[in-house]
Amino acid sequence: MSTNDKLSRWVEEVERTVCPDEVRWCDGSDEENDRLIQLMLAEGTLHILNPRTYPDCYLHRSHPTDVARTEHLTFICASQKEDAGPTNNWMSPAEARERVGKLFQGCMKGRVMYVVPYLMGPTGSPYSRVGVEITDSPYVVANMRIMTRMGRPALDHLGTGANFVRGLHSLGDLSPERRFIAHFPETREIWSVGSGYGGNALLGKKCHALRIGSWTGRQEGWLAEHMLILGLESPAGDVMYIAAAFPSACGKTNLAMLVPPRSQERWKIWTVGDDIAWMHPGDDGRLYAINPEAGFFGVAPGTSAKTNPNAMSMLKRNVIFTNVAVTERNEPWWEGADGELPRRAMDWQGKRWLSDGKEKAAHPNSRFTVPARQCPSISREWENPRGVPISAIIFGGRRARLTPLVFEAFTWSHGVFVGATMASETTAAATGAVGVVRRDPMAMVPFCGYNMADYWAHWLAMARRLRHPPKLFHVNWFRRDPSGKFLWPGYGENLRVLRWIRDRVQGRGEAVETPIGFVPAAGSLELDGLDVTPAALGPLLSVEQEPWKDEVRNVKEYFAKFGSRLPAALAAEVEELSQRLRKA
């Protein structure tokens, strides 16, 4: 079914292992999609939503034990354990082929094996990459059709070559006991079994675009990052592109689709991507970013007309919802949605739900899958094969204390240190304790396919390939006063912080030098039409010596985990920060 003999041979080999009743090559066409939808509706794995208010929208309920990525079952199977590093689980390739391979033996008996060629990145881009996912889940096929460019664009890009990521996925028996997500970066293979959910099963996203992508990026001299990409358009019409990395529960999708407040309505934000950026040095010495994805796989709870009006308007048609609740009008619903609580609904498991109970109706990690082109703020440049030139990179975290609203790093190397020491407080949406500070360098801990210390070295080395590197910043929308009140209104008002960042990139914008970096000088943040007084800015922008000294100690402890692989430049950055704090 393919004119590429390497691809055909691999598909035949997999077929002999998994023994399906039938093999189907997917082209991503409407007809194919319609047939899959009909099949899932008949099977009961998909439910139609109100066709009048939500045309072509469907609900999928995943297995109750299969509702999120499973980091403890995710492995980097590099031949050397040290290449996976202290932040990844490691299994030797031989052991993985034995243990995980066993679970694929005959696993598609009685089922259909779908072959899904997909392209990560815009059609015709030199930066785009091909993957092929073999799966026995029609839900995965329907989602991959939204999240990637499926079929022809991928096969055309591949041509007769062998450069494609080989992804093998099976639902298996959906038991967490027999669930593995194994990556073989040296041979560019992904084996995922036992889960049908999101990042575990849609192999183009976290597995390919980040874990395999980051490994390939280091080999080839580019960056695969867990970043949104946005364009900031000024009233004069110029657009500056910014990439930003945040751990979960910081509102990355909301920032990517930000709607400026009334008082700033001559400014505009354009969305290029909300989750992943592949960034390459261009001929002009600047860093160019593409969004490898073609859709958004966003968290539903908390999404509303207030937090993300652009998302709300794109969620009215052609959406696959996963694990949300449904109202009596057969419309999707989640905690934090607009309007009043429905009195009764069906919860994410399809059980009757009453609003007086304590149970949540939607799963906290419930999702929408939607084509990016439906986003009202989608950038004209989002499919530009050359990418967009990045002028600033933002690192961010959720910190009630310590980190100011925004600061600028002194140098590239200092900025890499800022990214490498990022941390965020856990929220109820994640599992485990609430309010605990966790380090999550560049928001890549769950997604970096190799040793994080080598990854930092790669970041440091990138500066040599960029005559005009982006400036590096850190933001914190979540600083609180002693009574627990948020000091910054956030959401659309974050535009004011982006404007300061733009001013700094353009050599305007006043700043005060502190031990941790440059913070906005009094009067340099636009506060027009905002009820944040210049006096309230003090606690929002302050850099306190003692807590930062504690932070330095904590960072040193953290860096010690990486032993001798820690780049000397980062060890030097901690020392210099420590000295600046002592002198301050």
**Contacted by 371, from ligand TSX, Mn ion, none: CB < 5 to 8 Å by type:** none
Residue 206 CB, nearest distance to Mn ion (Å)? 7
Q: How far is the CB of 305 from ligand TSX (least distance, A)?
A: 14
φ and ψ of 104, to 5 deg: -90, -15
250 is catalytic: yes
CA–CA dist 179, 69 (Å, integer): 11
Residue 293 binds which of ligand TSX, Mn ion, none (CB < 5-8 A, kind-dependent): none
Which residues, other chains included, contact 104 with Cβ-Cβ below 8 Å and sequence gap of 6+?
Answer: 17, 18, 168, 170, 191, 193
Query: Of 357 and 432, which CB lies nearer to ligand TSX in the complex structure?
Result: 432
**CA-wise closest residue to 385 among 4, 119, 26, 118:** 119
Region of 491 on the Ramachandran plot (φ > 0 left; ψ -120 to 50 alpha; else beta): left
Based on CB atoms, which residue is closest to ligand TSX, 181 or 276? 276
186, amino acid identity: E
Residue 430 CB, shortest distance to ligand TSX, in Å, is 11
258 binds, among ligand TSX, Mn ion, none (CB under 5 to 8 A by kind): ligand TSX
Q: Which is nearer to ligand TSX, 371 or 489 (CB)?
A: 489
Instruction: Choose the one of Mn ion, ligand TSX, none that binds residue 486, judging by a C-beta under 5 to 8 angstroms depending on kind.
Output: ligand TSX
Shortest Å, Cβ 15 to Mn ion? 33
What residue ranges bind ligand TSX (CB under 6 A)? 249, 251, 254-255, 258, 302, 307, 477-478, 486, 489-491, 494
Among candidate residues 121, 125, 77, the one with its CA nearest the CA of residue 98 = 77
Between 30-43 and 138-147, two packed helices, what is the crossing angle to 10 degrees?
A: 140
* Run of H or E including 579: helix 568-583
Q: Quote the least distance from Cβ 498 to ligand TSX, whole Å.
A: 10
Chain position whose Cβ is nearest to Mn ion:
275
Nearer to ligand TSX (CB atom), residue 131 or residue 396 = 396
218-257 mask for Mn ion (x: CB under 5 A)? ----------------------------------------
Choose between 261 and 281: whose C-beta lies nearer to ligand TSX: 261
Closest by CA to 117, choosing from 217, 9, 28, is 28
Amino acid at 319: V
Q: Give CA torsion, residues 212, 215, 217, 221, to 10 deg.
A: -170
According to DSSP, the residues that pair with 184 across neighbouring strands are 189
Q: CB count, 10 Å around CB of 401? A: 13
Of the candidates 478, 504, 481, the residue with the CA atom closest to the CA atom of residue 490: 478
Nearest approach in angstroms of CB 378 to ligand TSX is: 17
Q: How far is the CB of 523 from ligand TSX (least distance, A)?
A: 22
Nearer to ligand TSX, 55 or 529 (CB): 529
The verdict on 440 binding Mn ion (CB under 5 A) reads no
**Phi and psi for 412 in degrees, rounded to 5?**
-60, -50
The option from Mn ion, ligand TSX, none interacting with 58 (CB < 5 to 8 A, set by class) reads none
Pick the closest to residue 110 from 170, 162, 56 (CA basis): 170
Contact pick of 133, 136, 189, 275 for Mn ion (by CB under 5 A): 275
Options 107, 250, 375, 448, the catalytic residue = 250
- Give residue 124's identity as a one-letter amino acid code: G
H-type alpha helices, 167-296:
198-201, 213-220, 252-256
Paired tokens of 167? 């992804």
Nearer to ligand TSX, 40 or 378 (CB): 378
275 binds, among ligand TSX, Mn ion, none (CB under 5 to 8 A by kind): Mn ion
Active site members: 250
Residues that bind Mn ion (CB under 5 A): 275
